[in-house]
Amino acid sequence: MIAVKGVDGLRIAVLGLGRSGLIAARALRAGGAEPVCWDDNPAARDKAEAEGFATSDLSRPGAFEGIASLIVSPGIPHLYPQPNPVIAAALDEGIPVDNDIGLFFRSVGETDWSDYEVEPKVVTVTGSNGKSTTSALIHHVLTAAGRESQLAGNIGRGVLDIDPPGDGGVVVLELSSYQTDLARALTPDVAVFTNLSPDHLDRHAGLGGYFAAKRRLFAEGGPDRAVIGVDEMEGRYLANQMAEGPGDDRVIRVSSARKLTGAGWLVYARKGFLTEWRKSRQVGSIDLREVMGLPGAHNHQNACAAYAACRTLGLAPRAIETAFHSFGGLPHRSQTIAEHGGVRYVNDSKATNVDSAAKALEAFTRIRWICGGLEKEGGLEGLLPSTKSVLKAYVIGREAAQFAVQLRGVESEVCTDMATAVARASAEAEPGDTVLLAPAAASFDQYDSFERRGEDFTAQVAKVTAGG
């Protein structure tokens, strides 16, 4: 555990007692603070009290008397669409509001590493899509190369639940916009921006606010190296702001959409080949077409970002390439779960928005597409150009019929539930087809998470492929 520094003897309020909140309370206590905890859920309060934490209703008048700061879990709105009443009260009284990410960076920043031969590094990854795969891939490459690495944040363990990094150790953090938006300290050594597409717009009052939350990691974090996806204008703008000129190799531009040219440090994927250019010459190349854990252009973008981050940490191109081939991918993200009768079954339940679903559709041919769920803002219009390889859509969700109506030009069948969709797609599939779950929607109309949805898909595939 990372004991929080600079809090000894202070009373610190903790709002939200899910995974990150409870870990933050433990880390605060380890640092000598007195956590005062609250969650609207009685079961969560009971769990905290069972660990010896004091609980107190932070919404009552006078609740912040003697409180030094408020630590907030990422799922609780602090500004838009409107702040949680407890946070609003803290803001009114001038109580500093922070989260576990801010506590982590402050604590790491105040640690004395003078006894270490090599100071530990922190690599952060943010963006709309691909940040989990990119983070996991960086961690995998480092581990395969014999480097100490820990994966945490929005993936793996809570950021304060990891061990203090060892001599030369690397901490890889996946950070969501909810986490970067509120953290009072952001000081990564290497920061990665994958891409940007509309998501969480209500939480950030629009696309500009969403991008601003991501941008904080770079503009306020001041990383030594910035790896930035430049396939969208926001990425190009961010790279321009971070670089002092075209040849500034503190900024590494990455792309999976086009060949990059110029005097800087560039990593791009084109026609399945990753290429690294530095100081106007090629210094590395990897054939990604046979890397089974990274199918499609969107995963090639993840590969470019991970490759660039690992190169900043001193790894050789061949070592990175070798590790890529042993990467199995992440569950629910373009994950091949079965091949049966010449048909491939792919679980991409994490494709919860239009952009990520479009990238999944572009990664395969002859697709029998299982889609649908709780539709997000903006509709499905942006998805339609990516449906050229779709043989048929099998639509699930409570509003399946309405979802199907928007799939203009795509043959579709309203199935409503996963069992029916998998059974119908499997029955109609022929050798060479791919049955792909890429919902383009949230899961909460039928499941409590995208993971549960992906697990149901996997279970139904097991049923239809059993016995042969």
Instruction: Provide the annotated binding site for ATP.
Output: 127-133
CB atoms inside a 10 Å sphere around CB 316: 12
3-state secondary structure of 279: coil
| CA–CA distance, 260 with 251 (Å, rounded to integer) | 13
C-beta of residue 78 within 8 angstroms of C-beta of residue 72: yes
Question: Whose CA is closest to 219, among 264, 251, 195, 172?
Answer: 251
Indicate the residue type of 340.
H
State the sign of the Cα–Cα–Cα–Cα dihedral 153, 157, 158, 161. negative
Token readout for 439 is 């919902």
| CA–CA distance, 464 with 133 (Å, rounded to integer) | 28
C-beta of residue 249 within 8 angstroms of C-beta of residue 278: yes
| CA–CA distance, 51 with 70 (Å, rounded to integer) | 20
Nearest-10 Cα torsion for 38, 40, 42, 43: -90
| CA–CA distance, 124 with 135 (Å, rounded to integer) | 8
Residue ranges for the known binding site are: 127-133
Indicate the residue type of 378.
G
